[in-house]
Amino acid sequence: MRIVATDRDPSLWSGDAMVLFIIEGKMDPLDQLGEEIATLVKQKASRLGFTGKEDGLLVVDTPGGTVGSVYLAGLGSADGATPDPWRRGIALAVRQAGKDRNKRIMALPGGAATPEVHSALAEGALLSEYSFERYKSGPDPSEKPEPIEELLVHGGDERSLARGSLNAIAQNFARDLVNEPGNVINPAGLAERASATARECGIECNIFEEEKMREMGMNGILSVGAGSHNTPRLIHLVYHPVGPSRERIAFVGKGLTFDSGGLNIKPGDSMRSMKGDKTGACNVIAIMKAVSELKPDLEVHGFAGVAENMPGGGAYRPDDIIRMFNGKTVEVDNTDAEGRIVLGDVLAYASRQEPAVMIDMATLTGACAVALGPYTAGIFGNDAALAASFRDASGRTGERVWELPMDDERLKKKIRSEVADVVNSGGRYGGAITAAMFLREFVGEGIKWLHVDIAGVDSSDEEYGYYRKGATGFGVRTCLEWMEKYDKH
Ligand code: BES
Ligand code: MN
Ligand code: ZN
């Protein structure tokens, strides 16, 4: 899909469809259409009770007009600061246009639309177009929507559209990686994708293999990966700015290419979808690719701990005591609480680079999904200002986050161990928080740290807004949005 800014008079444009955006109860955008068409649209709207509610879409065929269809996308009250209703509105319209075989469409966001709205339109359109079909031979052509060739954004500016496109392409890249199953992307495979990406973008890449990790004392990652024939990897990507770097920041991702639970094996239903347990790592790779194009004045590091958690003769076991990279010892209560063990090593290793800020993303706990549901990620950290700036960024990207508390000293006792420094599971209650408290043990002194638990939001089992079934790439845009503001602070 080409996305192009235009100032052409919409009434003289003869494409396939137009998209108008309706704040609830305010039909005045229809004035941009000719009177005859506007009347037709208004009639259908009142007949079907379309008033502009959020996520509503009205489709009107306008055979007499210069375009064949008009789509009205509902924005709801649109009083919030977020452009997300626009993003979802264009997503629904683009999806409908694909079904209707409309190839050239024009979005009319109106003269008051901000650059953020224009970016959001590009994002929504490209995100909604995403599909993962590379393993399907012959889809039924009558069922398959056809891609849109051109989206014109009236009154848009190229810069905002390009920025939105970059964000969406990064998120879709993460989705593509996550959607690959464990038999296609194992730890070596993900490391290979990371280094190929780094080569293309001209950023630095270091991959650590088993032997090297053993020398370094990365026993957390090694233990988790020990039950699999597919040996683990540590990925380290670095973007160096052209000019002097103002600061160093790091993104860290959990990369379980498959999480069977290990010896504490998951029941079948819960094991399904665990190819998605590498989402944090895939997000980091996608973010680093975008960073190489955004070129901030920051030195940006991307780390991912990558392993496959399997039961097997070499597998780590409950009761094991592991000496981690930073020297702390971990008692294994449950081999299915593997993400925090992997991340413990990666966070400690990343801390050695002394970043000012470190943000990790992990599909860490089912408890987080239980607490917040499938549309909101949990955030945790040691710096209120960092959490606030991330929350602000999330308000703009529409990727919902909610902060959970880290100051419950009584709860912290749940990860105390009789025989080691910490135990890897604090039980069911407050499970997302005790997992975050475990991670905190591996964050270097003085580093501002934020943990994003994306279990629950990493993949979707329904189609909504700009998401489809499958990987969402949730978190990529918020990290980029946060970074852009941080770069300027
Ligand atoms: N990868 C899972 C968490 C998860 C669950 C992600 C559901 C996405 C959807 C993680 O490794 C895990 O298994 N966590 C356990 C921790 C428990 C054993 C303390 C969990 O959440 O049950
Ligand atoms: Mn697990
Ligand atoms: Zn896991």
- Domain-located, residue 162: no
Domain holding 426: CATH number?
A: 3.40.630.10
- Domain-located, residue 117: yes
Helix (H) or strand (E) holding 36: helix 35-48
Q: Which of 257, 341, 365 to mutate to test the pocket of ligand 1 (most atoms within 8 A of CB)?
A: 365
User: What is the token pair recorded at 363?
Assistant: 């599909």
- Domain-located, residue 141: yes
Domain holding 93: CATH number?
A: 3.40.220.10
Q: Which of 223, 332, 336 to mutate to test the pocket of ligand 1 (most atoms within 8 A of CB)?
A: 336
Regarding the beta carbon of 336 and ligand 1, being less than 6 Å apart is answered yes
Regarding the beta carbon of 453 and ligand 1, being less than 6 Å apart is answered no
Q: Which atom of ligand 1 is the closest one to the Cα of 428?
A: 19
Left if phi > 0, otherwise alpha if psi is -120 to 50, otherwise beta: which for 163? alpha
- The residue from 95, 124, 154 where one domain ends is 154
C-alpha distances in angstroms, 306 versus 6, 15, 20, 414? 45, 48, 45, 27
Q: Is the dihedral of CA 276, 466, 119, 55 positive or negative?
A: negative
What angle (nearest 5°) sits at the alpha carbon of residue 475, between those of residues 473 and 478?
130
- Residue 199: what pLDDT? 98
Q: Structural domain of residue 482, as residue ranges?
A: 167-488
Q: What are phi and psi of 190, to 5 degrees?
A: -70, -40
Do residues 341 and 453 share a domain? yes
Give the amino acid at 320: D
- Domain-located, residue 161: no
Do residues 194 and 316 share a domain? yes
User: What is the token pair recorded at 367?
Assistant: 């408890």
Do residues 252 and 330 share a domain? yes
Regarding the beta carbon of 257 and ligand 1, being less than 6 Å apart is answered no
C-alpha distances in angstroms, 66 versus 12, 32, 40, 70, 151? 7, 13, 14, 10, 16
pTM: 0.97
Do residues 130 and 185 share a domain? no
Taking the C-alpha atoms of residue 451 and residue 253, their distance in angstroms, rounded to an integer, is 10
User: What is the token pair recorded at 469?
Assistant: 């079934």
Beta-carbon-side half-sphere exposure of residue 373 (alpha carbons within 13 Å): 5
Specify whether the CB–CB gap between 30 and 42 falls below 8 A: yes
Q: How many angstroms separate the alpha carbon of residue 363 from the centre of ligand 1?
A: 7
- Residue 147: what pLDDT? 87
Do residues 118 and 7 share a domain? yes
- Residue 79: what pLDDT? 72
- Domain-located, residue 159: no
Q: How far is CA 226 from the centre of its chain?
A: 29
Tell me which residue of 356, 355, 328, 357 sits closest to 341, measured CA to CA.
328
Contacts of 49 (CB under 8 A, 6+ apart): none
Per residue of the chain (489 residues), give pLDDT as tens.
999 999 999 988 989 999 999 999 999 999 988 888 999 999 999 999 999 999 999 999 998 778 899 999 999 997 766 899 999 999 999 999 999 999 999 999 998 899 999 999 999 999 999 999 999 997 676 677 778 999 999 999 999 999 999 999 999 999 999 999 999 999 999 999 999 999 999 999 999 999 999 999 999 999 999 999 999 999 999 999 999 888 999 999 999 999 999 999 999 999 999 999 999 999 999 999 999 999 999 999 999 999 999 999 999 999 999 999 999 999 999 999 999 999 999 999 999 999 999 999 999 999 999 999 999 999 999 999 999 999 999 999 999 999 999 999 999 999 999 999 999 999 999 999 999 999 999 999 999 999 999 999 999 999 999 999 999 999 999 999 999 999 988
Do residues 177 and 101 share a domain? no
Tell me which residue of 347, 368, 352 sits closest to 431, measured CA to CA.
368
Q: How many angstroms separate the alpha carbon of residue 62 from the centre of ligand 1?
A: 51
- Residue 78: what pLDDT? 78
- Residue 364: what pLDDT? 98
Taking the C-alpha atoms of residue 253 and residue 363, their distance in angstroms, rounded to an integer, is 9
Do residues 138 and 173 share a domain? no
Q: What are phi and psi of 17, to 5 degrees?
A: -155, 155
List the 233-239 sheet strands across, edge first: 204-208, 233-239, 298-309, 247-259, 357-362, 448-453, 376-381, 400-403
Q: What is the DSSP string of 419-462?
A: SSSEES---STTHHHHHHHHHHTTSPTT-EEEEEE-TTTSEESS
Rg (alpha carbons) of the chain, rounded to whole number: 24
- Residue 488: what pLDDT? 87
Do residues 229 and 350 share a domain? yes
Q: How many angstroms separate the alpha carbon of residue 356 from the centre of ligand 1?
A: 29
Residue corresponding to tokens 């209120």: 384
- Domain-located, residue 209: yes
Q: How many angstroms separate the alpha carbon of residue 270 from the centre of ligand 3?
A: 11
- The residue from 128, 154, 180 where one domain ends is 154
Do residues 301 and 242 share a domain? yes
Helix (H) or strand (E) holding 350: helix 339-351
Q: How many angstroms separate the alpha carbon of residue 172 from the centre of ligand 1?
A: 24
Terminal-residue alpha carbon distance, the chain:
34
Q: Which residues pair with 321 in a beta bridge?
A: 331
Do residues 340 and 300 share a domain? yes
Considering the candidates 87, 163, 175, 340, report the single residue annotated as catalytic.
340
Regarding the beta carbon of 426 and ligand 1, being less than 6 Å apart is answered no
266 is catalytic: yes
Regarding the beta carbon of 334 and ligand 1, being less than 6 Å apart is answered yes
Q: What are phi and psi of 440, to 5 degrees?
A: -55, -30
Do residues 182 and 121 share a domain? no
Do residues 96 and 233 share a domain? no
Specify whether the CB–CB gap between 127 and 90 falls below 8 A: no
- Domain-located, residue 160: no
- Residue 81: what pLDDT? 67
- The b/e string for 318-344 (b: 16+ C-beta within 10 A; e otherwise) is eebebebbbebebbbbebbbbbbbbbb
Taking the C-alpha atoms of residue 434 and residue 417, their distance in angstroms, rounded to an integer, is 13
- The residue from 154, 186, 218 where one domain ends is 154
Tell me which residue of 309, 287, 7 sits closest to 166, measured CA to CA.
287
Taking the C-alpha atoms of residue 260 and residue 336, their distance in angstroms, rounded to an integer, is 8
Q: How many domains does the chain divide into? A: 2
